[in-house]
Amino acid sequence: MNIILFGPPGVGKGTQADNMVKNFNLHKISTGDLLRDEIKKNTDLSKKIKSIIDKGLLVSDETISDLIVKILSKKIYFNRLIFDGYPRNLNQAKSLDLLIKKYNQKISCVLNLNIDKESIIKRVLGRLVCAKCGLTFNKYFDPPQKEKYDCNLKYLKTRSDDNKNTIKNRLKIYTNKTLPILDYYADQRILYKIDGTRKINQVYGEICDIIGSLGS
Ligand code: ADP
C-alpha cells in the first residue's frame, strides 16, 4: 500500500513515518529530505532550492515531480511508499494521481495529522535532526534517548528553516496551498483525521489501527 502522511510542519509526520517504515516494511519518501540531499550536491539548482526553502516557500512543482518520478518508477518501492510532505498543493496531488496510475499503483489512505498553531511553533523550534542517521527528535517533547539513538549527540542539528520567521511563511503556505487538497482526498474517500497533539505512541497506535483496517 502507498500512504500519504498529511499535516502542517512539525506535526510529527517524519517521526510517525520512521515508525511505520520499521513495522510495515514500507519506504519513507520525504520531499523535504530529498530536497536537502539535493542541496548538498552544491549545484546551481541546489542554490535555488536552498534559497526557496530558507524563505519557507514551495519549491517548483517541476523539480518535485522529477524527484517523485525517479522513486515511483523503481520496482523495489512498488506500492510500498509513505509520502511525507508531498503532495503540497492541488497540482502536485493531481500529478501524483496520474503517476500512480501510470505505474499501476494505488494510494490506500491519506492520514491527516492535526495540531494547533501554538504547538506547531513549539515543536518546530525544538526540532533536532541527526545529520548522520536522519532521525528527528525534539529538545522539549522527545529528547534523544540511548535506546532510540545510536549516533553521537554532536550530530544533532537545528534545520536552517526551523526559525521564527520562516515558520510563519511555512504556515501561511500550508493554510493557503496545502490544506485545500484535503477536499480532493475526502471526495476519494481515503481521508482519515488523526489528533496529532497526543503523545507519539498514542498517535502511532491510531495509525496502526487505521492501516490494520485497510486490508492489503
Ligand atoms: P516541514 O513539513 O516541517 O515543513 P519538510 O522537510 O517537509 O518540512 O519541508 C521543508 C521545505 O522543503 C518546505 O518548507 C518547502 O520549501 C520544501 N518542500 C518540501 N516538500 C515540498 C513539496 N512537495 N513541494 C514544494 N516544496 C517542498
88 within a domain of the structure (yes/no): yes
| 91 phi-psi bin (left φ>0, alpha ψ -120 to 50, beta other) | alpha
Q: Whose CA is nearest to atom 13 of ligand 1?
A: 53
137 within a domain of the structure (yes/no): no
Ligand 1 binding pocket mutation candidate from 161, 163, 172, 179 (most atoms within 8 A of CB): 161
Q: What's the total number of domains in the chain?
A: 1
146 within a domain of the structure (yes/no): no
Residues in the ligand 1 pocket, defined by CB under 6 Å: 9-10, 30-32, 35, 52-53, 56-59, 64, 85-86, 88, 92, 161, 170
143 within a domain of the structure (yes/no): no
Looking at residue 73, which CATH number applies to its domain? 3.40.50.300
142 within a domain of the structure (yes/no): no
- Give me ligand 1 centre to Cα 215, in Å: 30
| Per-residue pLDDT, 141 | 87
160 within a domain of the structure (yes/no): no
What is the mean pLDDT of each successive set of 10 residues along the chain, which is 216 residues long?
96 94 94 94 93 96 96 95 98 98 97 95 94 91 90 95 94 97 97 96 97 84
Contact (Cβ atoms closer than 8 angstroms) between residue 20 and residue 3: yes
Q: Which domain holds residue 48?
A: 3-115+170-214
78 within a domain of the structure (yes/no): yes
Q: Which of 66, 99, 97, 87 is nearest to 174 (CA)?
A: 87
